[in-house]
């Protein structure tokens, strides 16, 4: 298939749209991003890369990082991980709190904020320098040392992340947080502040399309772990819009409020899109449209 023409075509069609959603402003640093940015990167099953638009520009990956920290925690703890966090979709917004109270501090899944905070706690307990370990992990998979944290975004989140503090204290009150709230959230805010481009994201998320192996063929996860993480992306990757994403696009994927989305078809391809305008559920508006076009035009989806 001529993936470059396909990508260029989709880009032109989608980029014409006037209604591009609203850039997240509850984290003040994110509000500064220009709303017209739009890029896509695609890696096919042979590892070949195709790009268009602003695919090389780094942005804040936000909740997309939850898949990466989950992978790191899963590779350390194995199935014991599921004693601390569930695997069911929440059907609620990413920062919702009431289920956490009802279900006694065990978050529904690792891809909502509460679940990612528990995963952050696991990494803080396990590693002497968890931020360095995470950076190292991502840089190695991407084979790219230019990936870093955006300190101004991390600070901005620390100053305004009141709901994350509320979630972390609630989890702590139920005994599901080993470390102190500030240490865990410092790590969590940094993982969300990872800066990556579509190109870098597509290369990193290739491991989930390639049975756990990166582009250089080094293994990071085993086949069973990849199966479970992809299942979580499909059912929980888009919060209360996970059903809509499966319905429209039909791929496992993950979004972030920085406007990025990654999605993949096992053994076939991985794609990353970036357009900072979000829909009312906090997912990139143009990214969703572009991915729907991709799977509809090609007939390639897990269904």
Q: Name the one range near ligand GLN by CB under 6 A: 32-40, 128-136, 157-165, 294-302.
A: 157-165
Q: Is 169 tagged catalytic?
A: no
Residue with nearest beta carbon to ligand GLN? 63
Q: What angle (nearest 5°) sits at the alpha carbon of residue 156, between those of residues 197 and 159?
A: 150
Q: Report residue 219 CA to chain centroid gap.
A: 20
For the CB of residue 188, give the shortest distance to ligand GLN in the complex, in Å.
Answer: 7
Q: Is 138 tagged catalytic?
A: no
For the CB of residue 161, give the shortest distance to ligand GLN in the complex, in Å.
Answer: 6
Q: Which of residues 80-109 bind ligand GLN (CB under 6 A)?
A: 94-95
What is Dmax (Cα atoms) for the chain? Answer: 54
Nearer of residues 40 and 111 to ligand GLN, judged by Cβ: 111
- Which residues have CB under 8 Å from 46's CB, separation 6+? none
Binding status of residue 192 toward ligand GLN by CB under 6 A: yes
Binding status of residue 54 toward ligand GLN by CB under 6 A: no
CB atoms within 10 A of CB 192: 30
Binding status of residue 191 toward ligand GLN by CB under 6 A: no
d(CA 214, CA 234): 21
* Nearest C-alpha neighbor of 154 from the set 284, 30, 278: 30
Q: Is 43 tagged catalytic?
A: no
Helix (H) / strand (E) element for 81: namely: none
Binding status of residue 233 toward ligand GLN by CB under 6 A: no
- DSSP character at residue 196: E
Catalytic residue numbers read 63, 66, 188, 239, 257
Q: Which residues bind ligand GLN (CB under 6 A)?
A: 62-63, 94-95, 113, 157, 161, 164, 192, 256-257, 282
């Amino acid at each position: 298939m001529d993936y470059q023409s396909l990508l260029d075509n989709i880009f032109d069609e989608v980029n014409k749209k006037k209604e591009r959603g609203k850039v997240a402003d509850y984290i003040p640093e994110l509000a500064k991003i220009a709303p017209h940015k739009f890029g896509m990167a695609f890696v096919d099953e042979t590892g070949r890369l195709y790009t268009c638009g602003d695919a090389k520009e780094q942005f804040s990956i936000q909740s997309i990082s939850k898949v990466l920290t989950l992978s790191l925690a899963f590779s350390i703890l194995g199935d014991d991980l599921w004693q601390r966090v569930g695997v069911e979709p929440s059907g609620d917004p990413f920062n919702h709190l009431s289920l956490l109270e009802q279900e006694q501090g065990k978050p529904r899944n690792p891809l909502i904020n509460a679940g990612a905070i528990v995963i952050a706690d696991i990494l803080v307990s396990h590693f002497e320098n968890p931020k360095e370990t995470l950076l190292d992990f991502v840089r190695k998979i991407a084979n790219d040392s230019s990936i870093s944290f955006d300190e101004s975004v991390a600070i901005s989140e620390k100053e305004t992340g009141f709901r994350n503090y509320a979630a972390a204290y609630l989890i702590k009150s139920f005994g599901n947080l080993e470390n102190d709230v500030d240490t865990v959230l410092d790590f969590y805010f940094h993982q969300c502040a990872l800066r990556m481009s579509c190109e870098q994201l597509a290369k990193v998320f290739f491991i989930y399309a390639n049975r756990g192996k990166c582009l250089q063929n080094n293994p990071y996860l085993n086949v069973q772990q990849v199966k479970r993480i992809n299942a979580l992306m499909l059912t929980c990757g888009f919060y209360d819009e996970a059903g809509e994403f499966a319905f429209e696009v039909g791929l496992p994927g993950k979004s972030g409020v920085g406007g990025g989305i990654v999605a993949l078809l096992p053994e076939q391809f991985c794609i990353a899109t970036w357009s900072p305008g979000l829909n009312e559920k906090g997912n990139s508006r143009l990214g969703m449209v572009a991915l729907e076009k991709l799977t509809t035009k090609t007939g390639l989806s897990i269904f």
